[in-house]
Amino acid sequence: MNEATRSKGLPLHPLLRAEIEARRSRPPYRVLGVTEVRRLFREGQTAGTPGPAIASVAETFVAGAAGRLRARLYRPQTDVAPLIVYFHGGGFTIGDLDTHDRNARDLAHATGAALLSVDYRLAPEHPFPAAFDDTVAAIRAVAADAAPFGGDAARLFLAGDSAGATLALAAALALRGSDTRIAGIVTYYPGVDFSHVASPSYEAFGDGSFGLSRDDTDWFRTLYAPDPADRLDWRCSPALAADHSGLPPTLIVVAAYDVLRDDDLAFAARLKKAGVEVTLRLVEGVNHGFMGAPNPPPAVAETLAFVRDWFVKVASPADSRR
């Protein structure tokens, strides 16, 4: 890891604090129910600051495990470019192409890569392992024929935030040693271990004062993996895989005020021990989901600049990286 992990204790940014206060005036997720939480999340995300203009944005489809999945292709340039397959967050239960449109635009704009955002199946209608299966199927389909997406299959990246980051990591583990080659992975605050909701960061931020709470996390994992035994499966909890070696270069962005923070820091250390080229970015003064905050704090642009620099290095031809 080449990024300091010690917290500097910066306060939560006021833009993020205002969003938390607005949410705390509503009942908890498990009281509101899935339909209402989806509505409120979509309403809040789509009313926020729009993402950057992209040369071409097109609705499309990609193969999933049980049929075609909706997808959205962002192409910042017309030339063949590295291709990112992106998976949105939302606890495997909420979120879609529209709620994460700005996330996708930001990442495509920052990296200059073509980006395919995939609308995988959600729980509770489709519990584990449906989302994982869709993720693997979509990646395999894109790797087999990247031309329609304007991407270079030799420079195929995975990316995601929160639950989408979990799916990207689990898929990368599943695809090791296969014909599907992954050049790198970009993850924002992934959930890596759903076997528990306990750690120092869960204790510090679990009451919801900083956004995502212990109760929220438990609600999401219960809907996604209602059978507790499934939460021990590495496809659900990538940190629990017996072996993490063989993963491509991996960037993990961690929020300082996140219940998942300590799990993510421990996971990054585990990857490093396994010989993975892992880069850790601990972002101060922000909470879980900050990269998609409706009113983004300055840390978003700063993090995107860091992602851009990492991506340019990893996506360069092998001979230029020596």
Indicate which residues carry an active-site annotation.
Answer: 162, 258, 288
**What secondary structure letter does DSSP report for 33?**
-
Residue 120 CA to residue 131 CA, distance in Å, equals 6
Residue 28 CA to residue 16 CA, distance in Å, equals 18
The runs of H, that is alpha helices, within the chain are 14-24, 29-32, 34-46, 101-111, 130-144, 163-175, 200-205, 214-224, 261-273, 298-315
Nearest to 127 by CA among 28, 242, 256, 220: 220
The token pair at 156 is 């195929």
Residue 88 CA to residue 132 CA, distance in Å, equals 13
Residue 11 CA to residue 257 CA, distance in Å, equals 9
